[in-house]
Amino acid sequence: MKNLFLVAFFCSIFSASFTSAIAQPSLKFINGVNFGNENISSPELISPALSPASTLFSVSKPIISFATEKCSKIQFKYALLLNKEVEAIVNLNLFGFIEEWWNTKYRYGGTSKKGIDCSAFTGLLMSCVYAVRMPRTAKQQYAETQRVNKEELTEGDLVFFNTKRGVSHVGAYLGDGYFVHASSSNGVTINNLDEEYYSKRYIGAGRVNFTSDNMSKL
Angle between helices 92-101 and 73-81 (to 10 degrees): 80
Give a three-class secondary structure readout of 105-139.
Answer: CECCCCEECCEECHHHHHHHHHHHHHCCCCCCCHH
Q: CA triplet 172, 36, 113: central angle to 5 degrees?
A: 65
Annotated catalytic residue: which of 11, 71, 118, 128?
A: 118
Are the CB atoms for 26 and 62 separated by under 8 Å? yes
Report d(CA 155, CA 84) in Å as an integer. 14
Put residue 166 in one of left, alpha, beta given phi > 0 → left and psi -120 to 50 → alpha. Answer: left
Residue 118 is a catalytic residue: yes
Residue 169 is a catalytic residue: yes
Phi, psi torsion values for 214, nearest 5 degrees: -65, -40
Put residue 37 in one of left, alpha, beta given phi > 0 → left and psi -120 to 50 → alpha. Answer: alpha
Residue type, 127: S
Report d(CA 148, CA 74) in Å as an integer. 29
Residue 128 is a catalytic residue: no
Catalytically active residues are 118, 169, 181
